[in-house]
Amino acid sequence: MKKLNTLFWAIALSVFLNSCGGASSGESSEETASEETSAEEASSKYSMETSVGVFHDVEDVAKWKEAYNALWEAEISGQSGMDGRIVVLTNNENPNRLAVFEWTESHEAAREMFASESFKNLTDSIGVVGEIGVVYYDVKELDDQPALPYVIAISHEVTDFEAWKTDFDSHAEWRAEKGFKFEAMGTDPDNPNMVYLMFSTSDLDSAKEAMGSEDLQQKMMEAGVLGEPNVSFWNSPTPAEES
């Protein structure tokens, strides 16, 4: 999974320019300051703390991806200069089912956009069919290394997030032994005890076996997980698809 941090690169560029001697005149200094301000404004478009997952079916995945990426390229070049895309996953059992994850400016702005008529018209125009599911996340942790071929998405409620998180962290070695690579953790902005997790793995069959094991069920119960978790399996994008 790719973690985007444009502000870091804006600061790095500023340090590099200053180390090369800085501006040669008052006018150049003003231009440099203006460019730095613009970079900071662009980077602040997304909080990097809130994100959204959009789940839907499409008629033709290749055509949808082409249209989706074209829309983002226009957004990047014409407005913010910042890429809000995180990743697009395809469902392991239904290749026309997509999970689209993006950074958001805020939950309020995202909710307004997804409820708009223009969003509905846009999705219709790029081949989205059926119901659209939208989930908002307060991002707690995100790994920035490439994901393994298969992604496991898990959601469940817990009695107390902080207590659950302590227990969750204590089982990192068990997850590694079962072939789970941590990808992301988020919570529901309206219910901080509703937890969303993503892992990736190279062996989907073994991952499914581990997910159904009595050992894991016991660990989850002891950690304060409430009810039956919702689990789905997805395919990670290939390097060619990410480029």
CATH 3.30.70.100 fits 50-137, yes or no: yes
Question: Could you tell me the two tokens for 175?
Answer: 């997850």
Alpha helices in 79-170 (DSSP H): 107-114, 117-125, 161-170
The confidence score (pLDDT) of residue 83 equals 83
pLDDT in tens, 176-199: 999 999 999 999 999 999 999 999
Which pTM value belongs to this model? 0.79
Is the pLDDT score of 7 beyond 50? no
Please tell me the distance from the alpha carbon of residue 211 to that of residue 153, in angstroms, as a whole number: 11
Size (the chain), residues:
243
Res 228: pLDDT: 94
The yes-or-no verdict on residue 14 having pLDDT over 70 is: no
pLDDT tens for 99-143 read 999 999 999 999 999 999 999 999 999 999 999 999 999 999 999
Higher pLDDT, 112 or 239: 112
Give the start-to-end residue ranges of the domains of the chain: 6-43, 50-137, 143-240
The pLDDT confidence band at residue 19, using thresholds 50, 70 and 90, is very low
Domains 50-137 and 143-240 share a fold: yes
Which of the residue ranges 1-5, 37-41, 108-112, 211-215 would you say has the lowest mean pLDDT? 1-5
Q: How far apart are CA 71 and CA 77, in angstroms?
A: 10
Query: Within a 13 Å sphere around the CA of 226, how many CA atoms are in the beta-carbon half?
Result: 8
Looking at domain 143-240, which of 3.30.70.100, 3.40.50.720, 3.50.50.60, 3.10.20.600 is its CATH number?
3.30.70.100
Looking at the predicted structure, is the pLDDT value of residue 214 above 70?
A: yes
The pLDDT tens digits for 81-103 are 578 899 999 999 999 999 999 99
Confidence (pLDDT) at 77 = 67
As a whole number of angstroms, the distance between CA 158 and CA 170 comes to 16
Q: What is the dihedral of CA 228, 145, 66, 240, to 10 degrees?
A: -120
Higher pLDDT, 78 or 131: 131
- In 3D, which of 25, 119, 39, 106 has the Cα closest to residue 71? 119
In this model, does residue 21 exceed pLDDT 70? no
Note the pLDDT of residue 47.
80
Quick: pLDDT tens for 22-74: 444 444 445 444 444 444 444 457 888 999 999 999 999 999 999 999 988 88
